[in-house]
Each structure stands twice: as structure tokens, then as C-alpha cells.
Amino acid sequence: GAVVSQHPSRVICKSGTSVKIECRSLDFQATTMFWYRQFPKKSLMLMATSNEGSKATYEQGVEKDKFLINHASLTLSTLTVTSAHPEDSSFYICSARESSGFSTDTQYFGPGTRLTVL
């Protein structure tokens, strides 16, 4: 299947700093990428939908000024957690949808980024 990479896999930062997470589709073009957040033993919570070349669509309750999303190319989307606080510590997962024009349009997930804010 298609491969999605995420970088970094783990990051520890001090409170007040900003952290950028990259999501790349390695062998396909993804017009749409999704960013999720997952707390321990909980399901995935969709944060935003990122479309190449346009502004991201944020889910209700997600602060767009805090979680900056940029989808500059068909293979790269970035999530920047600005002025991170300990409550932002979580597992962040991106997924990319392979838009083949067929109904399947399966999502492929990146390996996730474990963010710990001290």
C-alpha cells in the first residue's frame, strides 16, 4: 500500500515553544491530508482537513491559531503547534488520502508523532 511518513516521531519541548510536525506521502499524491490527535486509550479525534493550496478546515473546538496547518504541495503537509503547553502533549497522527478518482480513496496513516511538553 501507499506510504506516509511523519517527522519527528518523538519530540520533547519546553512550554511556550513551537513545534512543527511534517507529514509526507512518499509514493503518491495526496490532495487531502488529515490531522488527528489521540489521547491514551482513546480514539482518533479529527483536528483538521488539509487541502493542497487552500486553507485548512478545522473541526469545532480546535484553535486554528494554535494549530497551524500548511499544505504547500501534493506530498507535504505540516502541523505547527504554537506556544505549546503541557496539555498539548499527545499523539498526533496524519493521514493522506490517495485520490485515484475511484470510490475507495483509502486513507493511509503516518506513524504518528509523540509530543511531550514539559
- Chain residues binding another protein by CB under 8 A are 1, 32, 34, 36, 41-46, 49, 51, 57, 91, 93, 97, 103-112, 114
Q: How far is the CB of 83 from another protein (least distance, A)?
A: 26
Instruction: Give me the DSSP letters along 100-116.
Output: -SSS---EEE---EEEE
Give the residue with the Cβ less far from another protein, 80 or 107: 107
C-beta closer to another protein: residue 39 or 83: 39
Compare residues 14 and 41 and give the one whose CB is closer to another protein. 41
Phi, psi of 110 (to 5 degrees): -75, 170
Sign of CA dihedral 36, 29, 69, 78: positive
Of residues 67 and 97, the one with the C-beta less far from another protein: 97
Q: Are strands 113-117 and 10-13 parallel, antiparallel or unpaired?
A: parallel
Per the CB < 8 A criterion, the answer to whether 47 and 59 are in contact is yes
Is 51 within 8 Å of 31 (Cβ atoms)? Answer: yes
Q: Closest distance between another protein and the C-beta of residue 60, in Å? A: 9
